[in-house]
Amino acid sequence: MAAETTHLNKEITAIRRADGESRTLAASLPRLVLEARRIAANVIHGLHGRRRAGAGESFWQYRRFVSGEPSQNVDWRRSARDDHLYVREQEWEAAHTVWLWPDRSPSMAFASKGARDSKLERGLIVTFALAELLVAGGERVGIPGLMNPTASRSVIDKMAQAMLHDDADRASLPPSFVPSALAEIVVLSDFWSPIAEIKTILAGLSASGAHGTLVQVVDPAEESFPYSGRVEFVEPEGFGEITAGRAESWAEDYVTRVALHRDQIRTETNKLDWLFSTHTTSRSAAELLLFLHGGMMVSKTSVGNVSVKAGRSA
């Protein structure tokens, strides 16, 4: 009887927690959607050009006509300017799929006084804004295990609705699936998962040759460990709690372990030629959006004056 009562209490607690989480998310989504659209509009629109010749609408370059090509390929107006025949090439604009995974696990709800948003809010804002940009640029966007790829102009609304009606466990890492070789994958998480779990997910997502970016979204307090005195730390995902008598004595070891964890993640992403970056919620969401958008520009290493390099913090 005692075991049954304990199980029932746990179930009631889980239901209340899930209900509270869904209500909080539902209440905040309209603001997050508006913020995402504002940021997307202010950053940059479109992800069309692949800087290759092919089927598309944007002019890329003229090239010399090659013997054996169909004569209708000749651009007679340009060719009339001198003694050579020219072909007008269009820029290749083949759409591909971008999979976005915003971590919505309980640990993402944390926000200290120095943060602009909670980790969850920041991850959703950037995910929504990036989806808006990508669709505007002709790409298809999906969420693994939650939403099939779509090029709908109402992509943000579709994503928000899919999340609101999602009754599955809130996993920190994306589910195992096999993306196409040309797909892009963006995972926004605090990545406090064990390195073994991260390696397993990376191995599965990259097996087909897909390219990806991991962004560790952290709170300023998680970055600097500004605690002192007697502090009780509670693990938000049910793994217990621990009390520090003099929390300040833990700071050095904490910073060292965080650096080691990041080095391990970076080592794995470097093996795959993926990008890894860190982002603190005290910084601008637009900065992270620029980094992610720039990282997807094939054969480019910058967006405006923002350099994009593997391992860079955004």
Check residue 59 and give its pLDDT: 47
Q: Which residue has the higher pLDDT, 61 or 266?
A: 266
Q: Which residue has the higher pLDDT, 42 or 60?
A: 42
Domain boundaries, the chain: 24-49+94-307, 59-90
Length of the chain in residues, anyone?
314
pLDDT band at 311 (very low <50, low <70, confident <90, very high): very low
Check residue 251 and give its pLDDT: 73
Where do we find the tokens 């169909």? 70
Cα→Cα distances 237→47, 214, 217, 240, 261, Å: 37, 21, 17, 8, 19
CATH of 24-49+94-307, one of 3.30.70, 3.10.50, 1.10.3470, 3.40.50: 3.40.50
Rank 40-49, 74-83, 273-282, 287-296 by mean pLDDT and report only the highest. 273-282
Cα separation of 85 and 77, whole Å?
A: 10
222-276 per-position pLDDT tens digit: 988 777 677 666 666 666 677 666 677 777 888 899 999 999 999 999 999 999 9
pLDDT band at 37 (very low <50, low <70, confident <90, very high): confident
Rg (CA), the chain: 24
Cα→Cα distances 71→17, 87, 109, 141, 273, Å: 69, 10, 62, 39, 43
